[in-house]
Amino acid sequence: MIQDNTDPASSEGTPVLVAVGEGLLEVGVRDDLPSDYLGRGIGGDVANVAVMAARMGTPARLLTRLGADTPGRLLLDFWRRAHLDVDRVAVDPSAPTGLYVNAVRHGGHTFDYYRSGSAATRLSAADVDGRLLDGAGVLHVSGISLAISGSAARAAERAAELARDSGVTVTFCVNHRPMLRPDTDQNLAFARAADIVILSSEDARAMLDTDRPDRIRAALGEGPQEIVLTDGPAGAVVLTDGEIHRVAAPRVVVVDTAGAGDALAGAYLAGRLAGTAPPDALEVAVIAGALSCRWPGCARSYPSAEEVARVRAGASPDVEPQPSSSESA
């Protein structure tokens, strides 16, 4: 359950979303554009969630590490323009910023990651202290936060311990990535102890061997008070208070689906922090996730709160999106 741990210094008294994990620079390649096209985007799952929450008007703080390099500078500049609190983003001159290539082809896309030995993998429990959660209403962690290194996993676990001690809601996106060789037992334990769990149908099959909502609910036990299960263009469901609420996704002209799940998660958590009931928060979140698919890349493609509100009010979602100033990196 979302707790109100409001910091009077935070934006309009709204509790802060705190995300722990990595940021990555995206290099975009597309088959439908000239061969010399090379796009630039902003990624990293928990960082994306924080950006989308900020788009929706929620104060968001990020804990990660970046290299003292151009990719790190580009990420930090973007996050500042996106109004993230980056005071807990450390610059490590002895390690590079991670990056990935997003190759969009007809019928889908592929990712190639270059994060081994990155600054974010050096995140550790020593980076976590009680001030991290000042004014926090939610601590957000993902399966990738746990998988990129043992020390990063310990940082996430330490942050979760402090959150529980402080009455801060712990949220967990499973984000199962086979190439990272995730510890399924560790992910399952973290999910069972979280207050809100967000996972895709693919995540559920990988971690729980089922994508049926009732079986997911049984497998995760009584810990999570809300479970959000996403299913791409079919939309999503939220399981809460013994009920299942389904939300269909609006149809959009898809350019790139990268980061859509993170957009959904960020909008959902922003809604819950604002006091919106889970079914209504999910409706807004599904729209945000769908709208993010109209533009290349991850965080740069995320819609504004105003765009989401217009579509929810009945406007066409296929109006050409206009990048905000923080998307013009």
What pLDDT is stored for residue 281 in this prediction?
Answer: 98
Q: Which of 177, 140, 173 lies closest to 159 in space, CA to CA?
A: 140
Q: Which amino acid is at 209?
A: D
Dig out the tokens for 188 from the structure. 């399952």
Q: Which amino acid is at 328?
A: S
Helix, strand, coil share (%) of the chain residues, nearest 5: 40, 25, 35
Instruction: Give the Cα separation of 214 and 137 in Å (integer).
Output: 28
Q: CB of 16 within 8 A of CB of 8? A: no
DSSP class of residue 85 equals B
pTM as predicted = 0.91
Q: In a 3-state reduction of DSSP, which class is residue 151?
A: helix
Q: Which amino acid is at 135?
A: G
What pLDDT is stored for residue 247 in this prediction?
Answer: 96
Q: Which parts of the chain sit beneath pLDDT 70?
A: 1-12, 33, 107, 319-329
Q: CB of 159 within 8 A of CB of 194? A: no
Dig out the tokens for 306 from the structure. 């105003």
Dig out the tokens for 86 from the structure. 């980056």
What pLDDT is stored for residue 224 in this prediction?
Answer: 97
Catalytic site residues?
Answer: 262
Q: Which CATH number does the domain 18-313 belong to among 3.40.47.10, 3.40.50.2000, 3.40.1190.20, 3.30.1330.60?
A: 3.40.1190.20
Angle of helix 260-273 relative to helix 45-55, nearest 10 degrees? Answer: 50
Instruction: Give the Cα separation of 17 and 60 in Å (integer).
Output: 5
Each residue's pLDDT tens digit, 304-326? 999 999 999 988 887 554 443 33
First to last CA, the chain: 37
Q: CB of 143 within 8 A of CB of 175? A: yes
Look at the block and give the residue holding tokens 């049926």.
212
Each residue's pLDDT tens digit, 166-178? 999 999 999 999 8
